[in-house]
Amino acid sequence: MSTFKAPKGTYDLLPPESAKFLAVREAIAAPLRNSGYGYIETPGFENVELFARGVGESTDIVTKEMYVFETKGGDRLALRPETTAPVLRAVLEANLHKAGNLPVKVWYSGSQYRYERPQKGRYRHFSQVGAEAIGAEDPALDAELIILADQSYRALGLRNFRILLNSLGDQECRPVYRAALQDFLRGLDLDEDTLRRAEINPLRVLDDKRPEVQQQLTDAPLLRDYLCDACKAYHEEVRDLITAAGVVFEDDPKLVRGLDYYTRTTFEFVHDGLGSQSAVGGGGRYDGLSEMIGGPSLPSVGWALGVDRTVLALEAEGIELDIPSATSVYAVPLGEEARRILFAKVTELRKNGVAADFSYGGKGLKAAMKAANRSGARYALVLGERDLADGVVQLKDMESGEQTAIGVNEIVAELESRLG
C-alpha cells in the first residue's frame, strides 16, 4: 500500500464496479445522441467570475463550495462546480448561436468539484452527464429534455424515482412574487443567515431543508398563484406535452433549486431509496443566463444528472445492469513457442474486432484457466506441447465445458463465426 490516499470526499472507480459507471453514462447519453444533441467538452476549470456571475453570488455553490485558486500567472480560476455556465460560455465564444442554428443542442459528461461536507451520495468530486438546449423558447424543448431524462432512468431499470415540476416565472411575474415572499419571510422567526438570504434571494429560503424552517413555510405564498399569463400558458403546455408522452410527474410548488439562473420550467428527479441525498438530477430553463455572462438574449433549458447518485439508486433498487463481459476469448499458452503463436492469434483476433485477452506471466494451466474464468470470456484457447505437434489448438466453450481441437490456422474464422 502506498502512503497516499484519495483526498477526503473522493473515491476511485475501480474495475469491475467502474463498468457500472460507464454503463450509466452511456444510458444517459444514448437518448441524447438519438435526439440531435452533439457532444461538447469544456475545461475542468474556468475563470472564477463565470461561476460567480453565472451561478449566482448568493448560492451555496459560489459562497461555500467552489475550489478557487490563483495561477502563477495571476489568473483566478475555479474547478468547475457545474457545467451549464461553461457550456454557454463555450457556445458564445465559438459563435455557435448564429441565427438558423438555434437551438444549439449539446450534451456533456464529466467531473464536477464542490467543497461539501462528504457523506453518502455527497462528494467533493462527482460526475454528471448533462444536456443543454440553447437559444429557443419552446415548451416542446423543455418537454423533450424531461422525457429524455425519464427515458434514460427507465432504460437503466429504475422505477422508484419521481419527477418534481414547477415554474419559477419570469422577469415580469417573479419580482411581484419575490416581494410578496419577502414580506412573508420578514414576519418569521429566522436566524440571521436566513434573514440575509431572504433579502438577497428569498426564493432560496423555500429550498431550506431544516424542519424548523419548513414548518414556518406552510403558509408561504406560492409562485404558481403569481404566474403571469405567458408563464402560465408556457407551463401548461410543458405539462401537457410530457403527460401526452406518458411521463408521470408531480407538481411541487415549492421547488426552487439552488442556482440563481433558473426561470420558468424547473424540475428535479428524486429517488426514494437515497435518504437525504435524494436528488439524482435536476434542471430547468435559464433564459437570463446568457445575458448575465455578457451574451445576447438566449433562452435555454437543460439538466444535469448525477452519475454517482444514479449508481447508488440502482443499488438501492437492487438492479444488476446487464453488462456484457468485455472479453470474448482468453488465450492460454503453455510454453515458449505456444506463447508466440497464440500471442499472434490474439493480435489477429483483436484486429478483427474480437475482444481477446491473454494469459501473461507464464502461468501454469490451472492458474491460467482460473484467470480465463474470471475474465468472463466465452471461449478459452489452450495451446500445449502435444497440440503444437499436432498443429491444433484446444477451443474450450467456457459455458458448456465442451472442448474441440481446431487447426491453428482456422482459429480466427472459427471464433468469428461462433461469436457471430
Binding site for ligand ATP (CB under 6 A): 82, 114, 116, 121-123, 126, 128, 257-258, 277, 279-282, 304, 306, 308-309
Instruction: Kindly tell me which of 277 and 394 has the beta carbon lying closer to ligand ATP.
Output: 277
Beta bridge partners of 392: 407
Cβ–Cβ < 8 Å for 7, 118: no
Q: Which grid cell is 100?
A: 438558423
- Smallest distance from the beta carbon of 211 to ligand ATP, in angstroms? 16
- Smallest distance from the beta carbon of 175 to ligand ATP, in angstroms? 24
Instruction: Kindly tell me which of 62 and 92 has the beta carbon lying closer to ligand ATP.
Output: 62
- Smallest distance from the beta carbon of 60 to ligand ATP, in angstroms? 7
Instruction: Kindly tell me which of 9 and 253 has the beta carbon lying closer to ligand ATP.
Output: 9
| Backbone torsions φ then ψ of 225, nearest 5 degrees | -85, -5
CA 171 to the chain's CA centroid? 30
Instruction: Kindly tell me which of 68 and 96 has the beta carbon lying closer to ligand ATP.
Output: 68
- Smallest distance from the beta carbon of 267 to ligand ATP, in angstroms? 10
Residue in the shown chain whose Cβ atom is closest to ligand ATP: 306
- Smallest distance from the beta carbon of 308 to ligand ATP, in angstroms? 5
Instruction: Kindly tell me which of 126 and 261 has the beta carbon lying closer to ligand ATP.
Output: 126
- Smallest distance from the beta carbon of 30 to ligand ATP, in angstroms? 19
- Smallest distance from the beta carbon of 35 to ligand ATP, in angstroms? 20
Instruction: Kindly tell me which of 205 and 304 has the beta carbon lying closer to ligand ATP.
Output: 304
Q: Which of 126, 45, 53, 116 is nearest to 79 (CA)?
A: 45
CA 230 to the chain's CA centroid? 32
Cβ atoms within 10 Å of 356's Cβ, excluding its own: 23
Q: Which of 114, 156, 110, 100 is nearest to 130 (CA)?
A: 110
- Smallest distance from the beta carbon of 197 to ligand ATP, in angstroms? 15
CA angle at 104 for the pair 148 and 167, rounded to the nearest 5°: 55
Instruction: Kindly tell me which of 79 and 382 has the beta carbon lying closer to ligand ATP.
Output: 79
Instruction: Kindly tell me which of 282 and 288 has the beta carbon lying closer to ligand ATP.
Output: 282
- Smallest distance from the beta carbon of 156 to ligand ATP, in angstroms? 14
Instruction: Kindly tell me which of 54 and 282 has the beta carbon lying closer to ligand ATP.
Output: 282
- Smallest distance from the beta carbon of 275 to ligand ATP, in angstroms? 11
- Smallest distance from the beta carbon of 277 to ligand ATP, in angstroms? 5
Cβ–Cβ < 8 Å for 121, 52: no
| Backbone torsions φ then ψ of 127, nearest 5 degrees | -135, 140
Beta bridge partners of 393: 406
Instruction: Kindly tell me which of 45 and 51 has the beta carbon lying closer to ligand ATP.
Output: 51
Q: Which of 273, 237, 12 is nearest to 139 (CA)?
A: 237
Instruction: Kindly tell me which of 284 and 333 has the beta carbon lying closer to ligand ATP.
Output: 284
